[in-house]
Amino acid sequence: MTTHPHTHPLLTPTPGGFFGEYGGPISDPKIAALMTEIGQALDEALADPTFETQMADLRANYVGRPSPVYHAGNLSPKGGAQIWLKREDLNHTGAHKINHCIGQVLLARRMGKKRVLAETGAGQHGVALATACALLGVACEIHMGVVDIAKEHPNVSRMKILGCKLVPVSMGTGTLKDAVDSAFMAYLQDPEDTMFAIGSICGPDPYPRMVQAFQSIVGREARQQFLERTGALPTEVAACVGGGSNAIGLFSGFMDDEDVTLVGVEPAGKGLDTRDHAATLTLGKPGEMHGFRCYYLQDENGAPAPVHSVASGLDYPGVGPQHCNLKDLGRARYESATDKECFDAFLALSRSEGIIPALESAHAVAYAMRRAPQMPPDQTILVNLSGRGDKDIDFAIEQLGL
Ligand SMILES: *Cc1c(COP(=O)(O)O)cnc(C)c1O
């Protein structure tokens, strides 16, 4: 299967990188020139059969693709829709992020860059990127807030073992937002030798279309596998939405299938009636944030609001431009699941199927568990199980009082 970006009109941006009215190029002319260079290199790479051969080899023999599609028969309700899982948790490093990290590092190497640079919050993006860099022989520098470093021990250790340079960020609140600023400043000091690698389908053009191109393998595989296994397409496909990369990966395979309902599941945190959530498409407003136009959760002054989710990978006030457009057009539906529903689903999947999901992915499982009993038994929901829960076990034990 090829890496080529899906050509469906709704997932094809304008030359400026707009999906509908969302996304777009960065306004700063100096940075815009760097983004244009990366965008051109991406277009060349995607059109080059050698690049596709390299990607296909790494997907099959390093990441372990295709990831299976599994019928979660024990989890599915009696007399309701059947729940199926796309097992991205079985990828090397345990989540879907490796798909776009390998793509970006391979692109950086192709461009002659000596180093990739990124920020990380909980460390998931940092670990996936450090893995790809170790494999492909590119130096890696990760900026991480000091508060997050203290909280995320195992991922910090992994990044160190993998040989990346970890830069602690103590300015501001010492968390993700400050790490973003710090990493981007470091990038602008040396853009000749460095490429900035993003962790989701966010940021200015070309990042949203780049990450989409590398994640679309999930949806292409899933559609073919599901058809082979069941002889039909799923009634609904569902995925959790933080920045939105695993969801776009899955959705992109089903864009042409008008009968397949696309469902993104956002973190409702402590409840949509509190301030402690990160349900961007459900409660946010359009505006410009971090160099691109999207829905985002805003404070009184229109600045990005503080957000909350038990799943740190969903803890982001904005969302990828593709999702904003799909929401406005009504092509995808956006729902939410609370922290409590997330933990209930986390335990339910662990104990009925022997699969411990990432807390992020558990949001999509929670949606399926709520929705399936309302649907007839001949219908199906395919959930993207974006990652495994090993990283969350200590936190879950503490929260669940086990
Ligand atoms: C980072 C992460 C997410 C959220 O990112 P998206 O870009 O919204 O997919 C979801 N699941 C897992 C396991 C993650 O690590």
Task: Determine the distance separating the centroid of ligand 1 and the alpha carbon of 313, expressed in angstroms.
Answer: 5
Distance CA 36, CA 182 (A): 22
- Contact between 375 and 81 under an 8 Å Cβ cutoff? The reply is yes
**pLDDT, tens digit, 9 for 90 and up, residues 315-367:** 899 999 999 999 999 999 999 999 999 999 999 999 999 999 999 999 999 99
What local confidence, expressed as pLDDT, does residue 177 receive?
82
Selection from 86, 180, 111 nearest residue 103 by Cα:
111
Q: For 391, what's the count of Cα atoms within 13 Å in the CB-facing half-sphere?
A: 27
Distance CA 361, CA 382 (A): 12
- Which residues are identified as catalytic? 97, 119, 386
What local confidence, expressed as pLDDT, does residue 95 receive?
97
**pLDDT, tens digit, 9 for 90 and up, residues 130-176:** 999 999 999 999 999 998 898 888 999 999 999 999 999 999 888 88
Ligand 1 atom 3: the closest Cα is on which residue? 313
Task: Determine the distance separating the centroid of ligand 1 and the alpha carbon of 51, expressed in angstroms.
Answer: 25
Q: Domain 65-94+216-400 falls in which CATH fold?
A: Rossmann fold (3.40.50)
CA angle 349, 355, 361 (to 5 degrees): 70
3-class DSSP state of 216: helix
For CATH 3.40.50.1100, list the domain ranges present in the chain: 18-60+96-208, 65-94+216-400
Atom of ligand 1 nearest to the CA of 211: 7
**Is 18-60+96-208 a CATH 3.10.105.10 domain?**
no
Structure tokens at 294: 């999207």
Task: Determine the distance separating the centroid of ligand 1 and the alpha carbon of 372, expressed in angstroms.
Answer: 23
Atom of ligand 1 nearest to the CA of 387: 13
Sequence-ordered list of residues with C-beta below 8 angstroms from that of 202, at least 6 positions apart, any chain: 208, 243, 244, 290, 292, 294, 316, 318, 319, 320
- The answer, yes or no, to whether the previous bond of 13 is cis (omega within 30 of 0) is no
Sequence-ordered list of residues with C-beta below 8 angstroms from that of 131, at least 6 positions apart, any chain: 92, 93, 98, 101, 162
- Answer yes or no: is the C-beta of 360 below 6 A from any ligand 1 atom: yes
What local confidence, expressed as pLDDT, does residue 152 receive?
86
In degrees and rounded to multiples of 5, residue 356 shows phi and psi of -90, 110
What local confidence, expressed as pLDDT, does residue 175 receive?
85
Ligand 1 atom 2: the closest Cα is on which residue? 313
Selection from 333, 320, 328 nearest residue 293 by Cα:
320
- Answer yes or no: is the C-beta of 313 below 6 A from any ligand 1 atom: yes
Residues of the chain under the 50 pLDDT cut: 3
**Count of beta carbons in the 10 Å neighbourhood of residue 78:** 6
Is residue 148 exposed (0-12), middle (13-18) or buried (19+ Cβ within 10 Å)?
Answer: buried
What local confidence, expressed as pLDDT, does residue 4 receive?
52
